Amino acid sequence: MITSTRAKRNQNMDVEKVFRMTGGTGDNSYAKNSSYQKKVSDMVKHITMDALQQVYLALAPKSLGIADLGCSSGSNSLSIIKDIVESVEAASCKIMIPAPEFRVYLNDLPTNDFNSIFKSLPDFYRDLNKERSGGLPLLFIAGYPGSFYGRLFPNDCLHFVHSSYSLHWLSKVPPSLYDKQGKPINRGSVHISASSPPLVSQAYYAQFQEDLSLFLRSRSEELTAGGRMVLIMLGRIGPDHVDRGNSFYWELLSRSLAILATQGEIKREDIDSYDVHFYAPTKDEMEAEIRREGSFEVERLEMFETEKELYKVSENYGTEVAMTVRAIQESMLSHHFGEGILDTLFEIYGRMVEEEMLKEEINPITFVLVLRKL
């Protein structure tokens, strides 16, 4: 009875109500374990600011509408907002016109810890005001809870959309990972693995296509003509879904859960019915869907491998990776298996990452896309 209940729970899980980065500022929080994401964002900041300045110089709006989709909690989102404000002000000085007012919409799922962002705003404004003689810019920041797989904002209210490490999360676990009787078809794995039947990768790809199309269609209504989107997301190099990149971290999570099962901490059937709502597309898959939807053109698409050095790095790289994954997956894992397994699970996971890195590097692939609204 426990197993069937949990299988049904994951199959019918409402991601919008459950999924969130771990909030607050504790040791397991996203705020304390997202330095990797920050470093990647900094690496590609020149691409983000170049796209932003193209929009601003072409349209010169008096009120600049900006959305950060998947803002999460912690300092990363406000850091990019600070960069955006300073970049636009610098462009305004060059062409000798007054800087615009900034309308900034911070979006994430309703369960996100928006309070921690709002609490940090006084310090954010103080830092922004340092070394300024003309006072603070006209900057209006608001939280917009909701899934970005659908409409969030009024028509033509945005000029620039930024989304970092969010779009590889699907709107839901693909329904076809379960057969007509509701039984899981991807037994023993939490994602696409070498042992997964072909239907598994097909189910994930179909869900990715549906979600990306809806995302693009929704943003095309909200962005003004000529507006830009900068999307930073995980991906993969070629058609093989199983590689030594992003998919390998899910493989290690499957192995870690299997060890808990052998120890009697969880049931193997519970692993069978747990699937992550994640998809790392290829360049071709993304471009094909963007062309098919038809609202945007790809102005720039860059791919790079992210390396070990992008973590802090402390004495134990494996522990750092484990803490990062925990901050992202904790809500879903505790919902399915219960909170009691988390400490042991991620101790095992950290050791596995460390052992694997001694054998061969694990280098996830990241894509940066700049899309222009037609």
The alpha-carbon radius of gyration of the chain (Å, integer) is 21
Q: How confident is the model at residue 2 (pLDDT cuts 50, 70, 90)?
A: very low
The span from the CA of 214 to the CA of 149, in Å, is 6
Mean pLDDT of the region 130-138: 72
Q: Where do the domains of the chain lie, and which CATH numbers do they carry?
A: 1-373 (3.40.50.150)
Greatest CA separation for the chain: 70
Instruction: Count Cα atoms within 13 angstroms, Cβ side, for 165.
Output: 23
Q: Which amino acid is at 362?
A: I
Q: How confident is the model at residue 316 (pLDDT cuts 50, 70, 90)?
A: confident
**pTM of the full structure:** 0.93
The pLDDT score that the predictor gives to residue 307 is 67
**If we measure between CA atoms, which residue out of 70, 74, 69 comes closest to residue 34?**
74
CB burial readout 97-112, b (16+ within 10 A) else e: eebbebbbbbbbbebb
Residue-wise pLDDT for 70-109, tens only, equals 999 888 899 999 999 999 999 998 989 999 999 999 999 9
CA 45-75-107 angle, to 5 degrees, is 85
User: Percent of the chain, pLDDT > 70?
Assistant: 93
CA 355-358-361 angle, to 5 degrees, is 110
Q: Which amino acid is at 33?
A: N
**If we measure between CA atoms, which residue out of 136, 50, 55, 51 comes closest to residue 101?**
136
The span from the CA of 296 to the CA of 224, in Å, is 12
The pLDDT score that the predictor gives to residue 134 is 64
Q: Which residue has the higher pLDDT, 126 or 275?
A: 275
User: Alpha helices, DSSP H only, in the chain?
Assistant: 2-11, 15-18, 35-43, 45-59, 76-95, 114-119, 121-129, 198-222, 246-262, 268-272, 283-293, 317-337, 342-359
In this predicted structure, the answer to whether residue 115 has a pLDDT above a threshold of 80 is: yes
The span from the CA of 8 to the CA of 14, in Å, is 12
In this predicted structure, the answer to whether residue 299 has a pLDDT above a threshold of 50 is: yes
- Averaged pLDDT score across all residues of the chain: 91
Peptide bond into 313 cis (omega under 30): yes
Residue-wise pLDDT for 203-231, tens only, equals 999 999 999 999 999 999 999 999 999 99
Whose tokens are 């406000």? That residue is 78
The pLDDT score that the predictor gives to residue 126 is 87
